[in-house]
A and B are shown apart, each in its own frame.
Chain A
Amino acid sequence: QKEVEQDPGPLSVPEGAIVSLNCTYSNSAFQYFMWYRQYSRKGPELLMYTYSSGNKEDGRFTAQVDKSSKYISLFIRDSQPSDSATYLCALRDSGGYQKVTFGTGTKLQVIP
Chain B
Amino acid sequence: KAGVTQTPRYLIKTRGQQVTLSCSPISGHRSVSWYQQTPGQGLQFLFEYFSETQRNKGNFPGRFSGRQFSNSRSEMNVSTLELGDSALYLCASAGLINTGELFFGEGSRLTVL
User: Which residues does A use to contact B, with CB under 8 Å?
Assistant: 32, 34, 41-46, 49, 88, 90, 92, 96-105
Does B106 make an interface contact (CB < 8 A)?
yes
Does B99 make an interface contact (CB < 8 A)?
yes
Does B75 make an interface contact (CB < 8 A)?
no
A-B contact list, 27 entries, CB within 8 Å: A32-B100, A34-B100, A34-B101, A42-B106, A43-B104, A43-B106, A44-B102, A46-B101, A46-B102, A46-B103, A49-B101, A88-B43, A90-B100, A96-B100, A97-B56, A98-B31, A98-B94, A98-B102, A99-B33, A99-B58, A100-B33, A100-B102, A101-B45, A102-B42, A102-B43, A102-B44, A104-B41
Query: Which residues of A sit under 8 angstroms from B63, Cβ to Cβ?
Result: none
Does B55 make an interface contact (CB < 8 A)?
yes
B107 with A43: CB separation less than 8 A = yes
User: Which residues does B use to contact A, with CB under 8 Å?
Assistant: 4, 31, 33, 35, 41-45, 48, 50, 55-56, 58, 90, 92, 94, 98-107
Question: Chain A's interface: helix, strand, loop or mixed, by majority?
Answer: loop
Question: Which of B4, B42, B55 contacts A88 (CB under 8 A)?
Answer: B42
B100 with A100: CB separation less than 8 A = yes
Query: Which residues of A sit under 8 angstroms from B4, Cβ to Cβ?
Result: 43
Query: Which residues of A sit under 8 angstroms from B56, Cβ to Cβ?
Result: 96-99
Q: Smallest Cβ distance from B55 to chain A, in angstroms? A: 6
Given contacts A43-B92, A43-B105, 18 further A-B contacts (CB under 8 A): A34-B101, A43-B4, A43-B104, A43-B107, A44-B104, A46-B101, A46-B103, A49-B99, A49-B100, A88-B43, A92-B100, A96-B56, A96-B100, A98-B31, A98-B33, A98-B56, A98-B102, A102-B43
Assuming the A-B contacts A41-B106, A43-B4, are A98 and B41 also in contact, with contact meaning beta carbons closer than 8 angstroms in the complex?
A: no
Query: Which residues of B sit under 8 angstroms from A49, Cβ to Cβ?
Result: 99-101
